[in-house]
Amino acid sequence: MAPNRPDATPEVDLDQLAAALGSGAALIDVREMNEYVAGHVPGAVLIPMGQLPTRLGELTKHAPIYVICASGNRSAAMTDFLNRTGFDAYSVAGGTKGWAHSRRPVDTGMPRHA
């Protein structure tokens, strides 16, 4: 899970995410509500990218946090932000699109906390 370069965004692949989720890891989805409702990784908590800086209190610094978006661009930016603020965060390579294309389960509908 370590980056290849010291300045690289820490990243995990879909298999690593699946294993982490199996162990109860936290996954945040930084897409917008309409994207999340259309399909998301089961268990992902919706915190849209624009809201993340004001919702840091909802996250724990005591365990890794996995960050997902559609394909990996927004999650990389938010992973870098979280790591700069003291979290142990990892961007999910391939994002939700990759998760769905790999035939893993996808949930639809509103988040439980909305």
Q: Which residues are catalytic?
A: 69
Measure the CA–CA gap between 102 and 55, rounded to whole angstroms: 31
- 3-class SS at 28? strand
Contact yes or no for 77/69 (Cβ under 8 A): no
Helices marked H in 1-114:
14-22, 33-38, 73-84, 95-101
